[in-house]
Each structure stands twice: as structure tokens, then as C-alpha cells.
Structure 1
Amino acid sequence: MLSRVSQKSMSNALRQSVHLRSATITPTKRSFTSLIGQTSYINAQTSSLNNSIYRRWASTSVPVPPMAESLTEGSLKDYTKAVGEFIKEDELLATIETDKIDIEVNSPVSGTITKLNFQPEDTVTVGDELAQIEEGAAPEGGAAPATSTPTEAAKEKAPTETAKVTSSSPAAPKKEAPAAAPASTPKKETPATSSATDSFTPFARNESRVKMNRMRLRIAERLKESQNTAASLTTFNEVDMSALLEMRKLYKDEIIKKTGTKFGFMGLFSKACTLAAKDIPAINGAIEGDQIVYRDFTDISVAVATPKGLVTPVVRNAESLSVLGIEDEIVRLSHKARDGKLTLEDMTGGTFTISNGGVFGSLYGTPIINTPQTAVLGLHGVKERPVTINGQIVSRPMMYMALTYDHRLVDGREAVTFLKTVKELIEDPRKMLLF
């Protein structure tokens, strides 16, 4: 049996042990609680940092935009910016050349260009990623310094690397130049021999090859399709331009002063064609399968020469416009065509075509039908020629006209009647007021 002293000593020892154990456990709990709080804080800061980094490096993809129902691809013409340059929202980024028009791609956001995925003349398809832009404000002091484009980098890579190798390599011992041949040694004269690559004439015979652009390829395809499809036939007539030239001489200055419109030939010829088409509706029609389509409107396609090829913007409802109204529309479309600003809407449709080769000095020619149309009128140069009028030989400004038509739909009688009506209206423009 333990004594009272022993029991008391054991009790004190037990209390001290419990006290020490409590003192040991309490700080551990506090440290654990503190550690959890610090971990949560670090996670929150890391998440905030990640979000900041994500916002900083978020890139916007710039896709190839939709073109038209019949167009799904084109050729990249060029980029206006290089990698590293800043671009504003809605600023032009790239131009895509299609079979019909050039499509401009604008930047959807403001930021720095981080990636360009294609080279000029590469084929791009609707939906392809053209570029990536890192969103952000313009850097201070202007746009960021532009890095070289992929093409330029390839050109500069070789000489740059060569320079690095040369500068880092140890200097090689200089070799002495070979000693000059003794003066007494006579030079051997080699007879002149003609190599296989020498030209067999004293004149230059160089050749150059240029890739056809998409518009020219499309023109070639459509013209061959027209030749293979339509039963083309051409009829001719000549028109005395005296009355039209006199009318133009009397009123052109007044018209320019009042309206700013240059009074030319195309407005009068277009109006004459719309009036003649009312009498011969097949000229303005079309064949679709086993049906003939007749129209009560005339959308005239006007052939315009551009550096890329011939385009045919359309004057809508020419039958409802005045002569000067048609002139205004032709001038507007011609300027857009030469500036490369035509849209698909400007070129879609067309029921009849007029091609004026006379502005280039053409005297005579047979135009080709612009499918799926049925006829095309070709105008030529105005030349002074001797003609017989009332038994007298006189000199008159004459023009040859050529009408090419699809003989599947238009009979010869109808084609000749149409062309004869146009001739009569041009030789006496006052008749246009009677219809």
C-alpha cells in the first residue's frame, strides 16, 4: 500500500504530465489553423495571378470570313501588318483575292499581332485562322517595333547566321596569295567556243512566268464554258453617229455644269437596248433547264477593263433610269472596279451585256456571251468613212456594232431586228422620248 507521500508525488507528476501534454497540443492546433489560412491566401493570390496572366496573354483568333455561297476559298494577297505590330480595331489586316472580288479582313480587336499563319499567295479556306492578336492597349511611344515577317525572316536568316559564325570562330591564319606568274610566261589564248546556253541570235530571248490570279482563272473558265454551251452567232450593223455626236456637243457642257456628269455614249446605247429589248424579250431572257425565263426588267452588265482582268458590274433596272442616271451609275461602278472596291452585289446577276471596245481603238470584233445571259452587244470605234446618203457620197462618223447571241433561244430575225432598232434609236435619239 502506497504511503500518502507517494500518492501525492504521483498526483503531482500526473498533473505536470497532463499540463505538458496540453501545452504541446495547443500550439500544434494553432499552427495547423494558421497553415490552412496561409494556404488559402496563397491559393487566392495564385488564382488572381493566373487570371491576370491569362488576361494578359489571351489571344483573339482572326478567321477567314465567309465570302459567298459559291465561294469557299481564295488566295491571300498580303498582310498590312507584321508580327509584333499594334493594330487597331476594324483596321485592315489582310486582303484575300477570290474568283470575283478582293475581300478585306479587318481586325476584330485592338492589340498586338502575335502570329501570322499564311504567306502571300497561299490558298485559304473559309474558317481558317489567318492570325492571332493579343488584346491590349497601344504601347507607349507608338506601335511596338515590328519583327520581320516569315518571308523576310527567311531571307535574313542565312546572312545573320553566317555573320555570327564568322565572328565567333577563331581567327584563321592568313594564307599568302599565290605568286604572280612570271612576266616572261606568255598567256595561252583559248579559242572562243559557243556554249549550249548561248543564244543563237544577238537579241535577248528572255521569258518570264507569272502565276495566273484567281480572277483571270475564273474568266478563262467562264469564257470556255460559254463557248462550249451557247450556240453563238454574231450579226453586224453600222450606225451613223452624227446625230449623237451633235447632241453630245450641244449639251455636254451644260450637263457637266448642272449635274457634274460626263455625257458619254454608254448611257444612250444602254437606254436604246432596254427599249429594243421590250420588242424582242428573248434578248433579255435566259435558258434554265428546259424552261425559258423572260424578264420585264433589264439589268445591264457593263464590261470594265481592270489590271486583273475584265469585270462586269451591273446597272440595275436600267429600263427605269434616265440616260443621265445610267451614266452616273456606270461611272460609279467603273471607278469602284478600277479601285478594286467592287462587291459581290455589284457583280451578281445581269441580263444583258454591253462591251465598248471602241475606247481602246477597236474597229471590228465579235464579243463572247457572258453566261448565263443570252446576248452581248459589242461597240467599236467611231471612224470617219465615206457613205452614200441620198445618192451622194459623204463623210460620216460611223461605228460598227456586233451582237452575239445564243441561237438556241434567239432566232436570226429577232437578233437582226433588235440590232436594227438600236441603230435607229442612236441615229435619231429623239425617238427614245416616244417609247
Structure 2
Amino acid sequence: MTPKRLQHFSQSVSSYQFRTYAEKIVKVPQMAESITEGTLKQFSKQVGDYVEQDEEIATIETDKIDVSVNAPESGTIKEFLVNEEDTVTVGQDIVKMEPGGDPPSGGREEAGQSPKESASRDQETASQPKGEQEQQKTEDISPKSSGEKMPEPSKQEKVSQSSQLNNQEPPKKQQASSSKEYETRKSDSAFGSREERRVKMNRMRLRISERLKQSQNTAASLTTFNEVDMSSLMDLRKLYKDEILKKTGVKLGFMSAFSRACILAMKDLPAVNASIEGPNGGDTIVYRDYVDISVAVATEKGLVTPVVRNAESLDLVGIEQSIADLGKKARDNKLTIEDMAGGTFTISNGGVFGSLMGTPIINLPQTAVLGLHAIKEKPVAIDGKVEIRPMMYLALTYDHRLLDGREAVTFLVKAW
């Protein structure tokens, strides 16, 4: 090999090594021990966009939370290795990017936001009505600047134009045809729209469905009800809510009071806070000295149950603050796996949606779930007199394999 060819080969190898070194592959991050795959819901950037380090590139939807895929370092996106709605696994390559380089002029705000070229006159755009598009096409081909003669209108067109100019009725043939079309359209829409849409369930909804059916098929579920007078609790809240809000910034609600009441009742009935675990449906009862309360929160994607840890060590304000923080994270789609893992007892407040009464489903492997409902003014007998009081129905769904009816009813009575 001549020195010149050797030099050219050396430069080619160096260039190839540099490009190989420069490429950076972004992989699906570790999500949790129990989550190995997800659905790549969307890419936040496009090929050719410049991204900063830790800037979000894509979102992966799992059966519990949405996971963000962030850029490991600053650079330019070169290629997407998967498509949106594809199932991806932990460690799988999803994006190829070229590290380094400078962001486009105008700063980070303009990165990935270059304006698209406006459609040419010949192109159809979504903002143009169809009639305008047809009119434009007609204007483009009309011989305005040429000496060509326009074809003379047909006899039928002349009659129509003459009728319009003289405010005369159109011929009977056209009128009959128009009437027939109107009758056809009328008959088509007589019963309204009968369209159907099929939408694939997202992973969270699929997981919720699976868990709910698992609960129904595993636990011997039974629900007991009680009615509670909310007068005292409402008076307490009214007396202290402004002061607590001013001192701590926490809005005092009812969830903290019910949580605290459950914790106190569990001291006499620890089985409510226990669970059945083990093979073949469970052969071991696990009793706990701590109380982790799962709070049901409704989100756009489905019901989630973030957990208030060691609720037995918190006062009313502490519980209320924890519930508020978890609720905000759930609505902002910022919950982590750790926020929802575990839980020994669940409280679901359907009353915020106006529910009068319902039977909540147990969140396995827990043993019980308390359902709160709407507060309604009702006439009740008080010391031999009829009074109007704010009343609420409570529903305790429990696993009859571990709790008997006596313990379940006693739990409700002790708490309220």
C-alpha cells in the first residue's frame, strides 16, 4: 500500500472512530423492580432538535405511572429507534443522539421549535375550507391572461341563470330533484348519529381492571354500612380551619379526621390493618404495628392510591398536609412508584363527586377499605325530637376470610 493510500485509510478509520464515539444511545431507564416494560406514548422532541442535559425526550406509560426519558447529556437527536405506541423494555435502545454542539441561535427556547414552511398555494392546508381550495384551483387554471375563449354555457345553465336574474322559480325538474335529496337526508338523520369509536385501553386502566377482578376473585368481600352525624366534626372544622390555614397553610378537611379515627379503632381491632399472604391464596396473617393509609385519588388516566406513610405518628394537620401533597402530585402526573407502593388500609372519598352510597372494592393484599360519601341534611330523631342534621353514610368493605361481621361493625362503631 502506497503512503498516500495508507494516509487516506488512516484518516477514514479515525473519522469512523470519531463518529462511533460521538453517537450516544438513549435507553429505556430503570422504572421499578416490578415494572419491566411500558408503552412509548410520545416523543417530546423531533429528529434534528437540540436538547439540553436532563431535558425530557420521551414519555413511557406503564401500568402504574408515566416515566420520563431524559437526555443523558446535551446534543442533537439523530434518529428514533422505536415508534410511538411501541412496547419497550428496560434497557432497550430508543433514541440515537449526537452529543455536544451548540444550541441553535436564539437560545434554548427556539430549539426544536423551528417554524414549519407555509403551504404553497397549490397545497391543501387544514386551515383552508374545502370550498376555498377548489376556488383557488379554479382561479389558477382560469385563462385570465390568455386570449382563450371561455366555453359557452349550456342551455340548462342559461335557463338557471335567467331564473336567478329574474327571481323566477327554477324548473320543476330541478325542484323535484332537490326535494328528493332533502327527503333522503332527512330519513338518514331521523334516528340521530349511530357512530362508534374503539379506543385501546391505556396500561394503567388495564392494570386497574386486572387488580379489581383479582380482588373480587380472591377476597370474600362483604360490605357493612353505618350512618354518622357530621355536626360535631363540621363545627370543629369551622372553628379551627381559618386559624390552621393561617399558621400552617393547610386546609383542614374531613379526610384527616376519618384517618385518625380509623387509626385509633385499629388499636382494638388490629385485624383491620392486617393482611393474608402466602401461596395458594394465602396461609399467613401479617399483623402490623404501623398504619400506611392508601388514599384513593381520581386522575384523568384512572384511579391511583398514593400512600400516607406511618399515619399513626401524624396529627390531623400532618395527615391533611400529606394527603394534599399526594393529591397534587397525582393530578400533576408526578407520582413515583414509591408513592404508591404498599399501604395497609384504604380510604376512598366518593362524596366529593356526590355519591350517596357505594360499596368500595378491597385493594389487595389489604383487608378492608372505608368508603366516605356525600353529606346530606336529613331529619333524625334526637332526644325524642326530630332535627335536621348533616348525615353521611359510611361503607366498610372487608375480607370475610380475616374479619367477621362482629369485628367489622365494632370497628365502625368505635371509630364513630
CA contact (8 A) 2:50 2:104 kept: no
1:60 to 24, 33, 39: 24
Aligned residues: 370
Counterparts of residues 299-314 of structure 1 (less than 5 Å): 299-314=292-307
Give the TM-score normalised by the residue count of structure 1: 0.77
Deviation at 1:198, TM superposition (A): 2.3
CA contact (8 A) 2:51 2:111 kept: no
Cα distance in 1 for partners of 2:205, 2:271 equals: 30
Q: Which runs of 5 or more residues in structure 2 are unaligned?
A: 125-140, 160-170
SS at match of 2:375: strand
Matched, 1:374 2:363: no
Deviation at 1:44, TM superposition (A): 5.5
CA contact (8 A) 1:240 1:396 kept: yes
Cα distance in 2 for partners of 1:145, 1:377 equals: 50
Cα distance in 2 for partners of 1:327, 1:211 equals: 36
Matched, 1:227 2:220: no
Deviation at 1:421, TM superposition (A): 1.0
Cα distance in 1 for partners of 2:112, 2:15 equals: 25
Cα distance in 1 for partners of 2:319, 2:104 equals: 52
Which residue of the partner structure matches residue 59 of structure 2? 95
Counterparts of residues 23-422 of structure 1 (less than 5 Å): 39=3, 43=6, 47=10, 50-52=13-15, 54-56=17-19, 58-139=22-103, 141-142=105-106, 179-182=153-156, 187=173, 189-190=176-177, 191-192=180-181, 194=184, 198-201=188-191, 203-288=192-277, 289-422=282-415
Deviation per CA, 1:358-382: give whole Å up to 9, x if none. 1111111111111111100000111
Cα distance in 1 for partners of 2:55, 2:291 equals: 38
Give the TM-score normalised by the residue count of structure 2: 0.81
Kindly tell me: are residues 130 and 197 of structure 1, through their superposed partners in 2, closer, same or farther at Cα, counting changes over 3 Å?
farther
CA contact (8 A) 2:103 2:111 kept: no
Deviation per CA, 1:244-276: give whole Å up to 9, x if none. 111111111111111111111111110111111
Q: Which amino acid aligns with 1:63?
A: K
Deviation at 1:187, TM superposition (A): 3.3
Cα distance in 2 for partners of 1:175, 1:105 equals: 64
CA contact (8 A) 2:38 2:60 kept: yes
SS at match of 2:373: strand
Deviation at 1:279, TM superposition (A): 0.9
Deviation per CA, 1:289-333: give whole Å up to 9, x if none. 211111111110000011111100000111111111111110110
Cα distance in 1 for partners of 2:173, 2:186 equals: 26
Deviation per CA, 1:84-104: give whole Å up to 9, x if none. 111111111111110000101
Cα distance in 2 for partners of 1:350, 1:175 equals: 84
Deviation per CA, 1:151-203: give whole Å up to 9, x if none. x9xxx9xx69xxxxxxxxxx9x99986852445687363445648992442x3
Deviation per CA, 1:29-76: give whole Å up to 9, x if none. xxxxxxx9x82x874575356424542563111111122222221111
CA contact (8 A) 2:380 2:386 kept: yes
SS at match of 2:173: coil
Cα distance in 2 for partners of 1:412, 1:293 equals: 20
Q: Which amino acid aligns with 1:392?
A: K
Cα distance in 1 for partners of 2:23, 2:186 equals: 57
Kindly tell me: are residues 199 and 303 of structure 1, through their superposed partners in 2, closer, same or farther at Cα, counting changes over 3 Å?
same
CA contact (8 A) 1:64 1:105 kept: yes
Cα distance in 1 for partners of 2:369, 2:47 equals: 49
SS at match of 2:414: helix
Deviation at 1:210, TM superposition (A): 2.4
Q: Which amino acid aligns with 1:109?
A: E
Q: Which runs of 5 or more residues in structure 1 are unaligned?
A: 1-35, 161-170, 424-435
Aligned-CA RMSD value: 3.1
Specify the structure having the higher radius of gyration (Cα).
1
Cα distance in 2 for partners of 1:371, 1:404 equals: 12
Counterparts of residues 15-26 of structure 1 (less than 5 Å): none
CA contact (8 A) 1:83 1:147 kept: no
Identity %: 60
CA contact (8 A) 1:199 1:205 kept: no
SS at match of 1:62: strand
Cα distance in 1 for partners of 2:313, 2:54 equals: 38
Deviation at 1:222, TM superposition (A): 0.7
Q: Which amino acid aligns with 1:324?
A: V
SS at match of 2:317: helix
Cα distance in 2 for partners of 1:71, 1:197 equals: 53
Could you tell which deviates more after superposition, 207-216 or 314-323?
Answer: 207-216
Q: Which amino acid aligns with 1:180?
A: S
SS at match of 2:347: strand
Could you tell which deviates more after superposition, 133-142 or 88-97?
Answer: 133-142
Deviation at 1:208, TM superposition (A): 2.9
